[in-house]
Chains A and B, each alone.
Chain A
Amino acid sequence: MKNVIKGKVAIKLGDVINSDQMFPPSYMWQHDWEIKPKFCLTNYDPEFPERVRPGDIIIAGKIFGHGHSHMDGLTGFQKLGVSAVTAESFSPGWYRGAIASGFPVIACPGITKKVNVGDELEVNFKTSNIKNLTTGEILKAESIHPIIREILDAGGIAAYAEKKVGTAPSRYKK
Chain B
Amino acid sequence: MGETLVQKILAKKSGKKKVIPGEVIWVQPDLIAQYSITYFSGGSTLPDVRINPDRIAISPDHHFMPKGENEAKSHATMREMAKKYNIKNYHDIGQTGIQFQLLAEKGLVRPGMLIVHADSHVSTYGAFGTYAVGVGRDYVQAYRTGEVWLRVPQTLKINVTGKFPEGVTSRDLFEKILADIGPGGAIGQAIQYTGPAVSAMSIESRMVLCNSVVFMSAETAIIEPDQKILEYVKARTTGTFEALKGDASAEYTKVLNYDVSKLEPQVVMPTAVYHVKTIKEAAGIEIDQAFIGTCASGRMEDLRLAARILKGRKIHQGTRLVIAPITPEIQRDAAREGLTDIFWEAGALVGPPSCGMCLQGGYGWLLPGERFISTGTLNLPGRHGSPEAQTYLANPATVAASAVSGKITDPREFL
- Residue ranges of A at the interface with B (Cβ–Cβ < 8 Å): 16, 18, 20-21, 24-26, 28-29, 31, 62-63, 66-69, 71, 89, 91-93, 96-97, 100-101, 145-148, 151, 157-158, 160-162, 164-165, 170-172
Question: Which residues of B sit under 8 angstroms from A31, Cβ to Cβ?
Answer: 41
Instruction: Name the one of A20, A24, A69 contacting B136, with C-beta atoms under 8 angstroms.
Output: A69
Please provide the 9 A-B residue pairs with the shortest distance between their CB atoms, ordered closest to farther: A25-B382, A25-B387, A161-B141, A145-B24, A63-B184, A69-B136, A100-B137, A25-B381, A97-B136
| Complex Cα spacing A161 to B361, Å | 31
Residue B188 CB within 8 A of the other chain: yes
B258: CB under 8 A from chain A? no
Q: Are A71 and B145 in contact (CB under 8 A)?
A: no
Q: Which of B96-104, B212-220, B313-321, B404-412 contacts A (4 or more CB under 8 A)?
A: B212-220
Say how far A171's CB is from chain B's closest CB, in angstroms.
6
List the count of A-B residue pairs having beta carbons below 8 Å apart: 114
B414 within 8 A of A: no
Assuming the contacts A16-B184, A147-B149, A157-B141, asked whether A93 and B214 have C-beta atoms less than 8 A apart, the reply is: yes
Do A28 and B49 touch (CB < 8 A)? Answer: no
Instruction: Select from chain A the residue with minimum beta-carbon distance to B144.
Output: A161
Q: When chains A and B are docked, how far (Å) is the Cα of A91 from the Cα of B24?
A: 16
A89 with B360: in contact, given A68-B214, A96-B135, A100-B138 (CB under 8 Å)? Answer: no
Tell whether B300 is near chain A: CB-to-CB under 8 Å.
no
Contacts of B144 in A (CB 8 A): 161-162, 164-165
With A20-B380, A69-B120, A147-B24 known as contacts, the answer to whether A92 contacts B138 (CB < 8 A) is no
Q: A25-B387, A172-B86 are in contact. List 20 more A-B contacts (CB 8 A).
A: A16-B184, A18-B380, A20-B380, A29-B361, A63-B187, A66-B184, A67-B214, A89-B184, A92-B187, A92-B217, A96-B135, A97-B136, A100-B138, A145-B151, A151-B149, A158-B137, A158-B141, A165-B144, A165-B145, A172-B49
Q: Give the distance to chain A from B61, nearest Cβ to Cβ, in Å.
A: 15
Name which of A71, A91, A164 has the most chain B CB atoms within 10 A of its CB: A91
Interface presence of B282 (CB below 8 A):
no
B393 contacts A by Cβ under 8 Å: no
Q: List 10 A–B pairs whose Cβ atoms lie within 8 Å, in order of A's numbering.
A: A21-B380, A26-B387, A28-B361, A67-B214, A89-B184, A97-B136, A100-B137, A160-B141, A165-B144, A172-B53
B136 x A148 contact (CB < 8 A): no
Chain B interface, DSSP helix/strand/loop, else mixed: loop
Q: Say yes or no: A170-B49 contact (C-beta < 8 A), given A29-B361, A68-B119, A147-B26.
A: yes
CB-based contact B50/A100 at 8 Å: no
Count residues on chain B whose CB falls below 8 Å from chain A CBs: 42
Expressed in whole angstroms, the Cα–Cα distance for A67 and B137 within the complex equals: 15
Among A69, A165, A170, residue most surrounded by chain B Cβ atoms (within 10 Å): A69
Minimum CB–CB distance for B341 against chain A, Å: 36
Give the residue name and chain of the B residue nearest to A164 (CB): B145
A66 and B183 in contact, given A25-B387, A170-B50 (Cβ under 8 angstroms)? yes
Contacts of A28 in B (CB 8 A): 360-361, 382-383
Instruction: Find A68's partner among B41, B50, B138, B378 (CB 8 Å cutoff).
Output: B378
Give the residues in chain A near B145, CB-CB below 8 Å: 161, 164-165
Interface residues in B108-145 by Cβ distance below 8 A to A read 118-120, 134-138, 140-141, 144-145
A20 partner, pick from B215, B217, B383, beta carbons under 8 A: B383
A132 smallest CB distance to B (angstroms):
25
Minimum CB–CB distance from B303 to chain A (whole Å) comes to 26
Measured CB to CB, the closest approach of chain A to B86, in angstroms, equals 8
**Quick one: CB contact mask for B24-41 with A, threshold 8 Å, 1 for yes?**
101000000000000001
- Closest chain B residue, CB of each to CB of A25: B382
Please name all residues of chain B whose beta carbon is closer than 8 Å to the beta carbon of A146 when the two chains form the complex. Answer: 24
Of all chain A residues, the one with the shortest Cβ separation from B50 is: A170
* B360 in complex: contacting residue of A20, A151, A170, CB < 8 Å: A20
Interface: B85 (CB within 8 A): yes
Q: In the assembled complex, how far is the CB of residue A112 from the closest CB belonging to chain B, in whole angstroms?
A: 14
Asked if B400 lies at the interface with its beta carbon under 8 angstroms from chain A, I say no
A29 to B387, CA, bound (A): 11
Instruction: Mark out the residues of chain B between 371 and 388 whose CB falls within 8 Å of any chain A CB in the assembled complex.
Output: 378, 380-383, 387
A101 to B, closest residue via Cβ:
B137
- How far is B138's CA from A164's CA once the two chains are assembled, in angstroms? 14
B382 touches A89 (CB 8 A): no
- Given the interface pairs A147-B24, A170-B48, A170-B49, the reply to whether A96 lies near B273 with Cβ below 8 Å is no
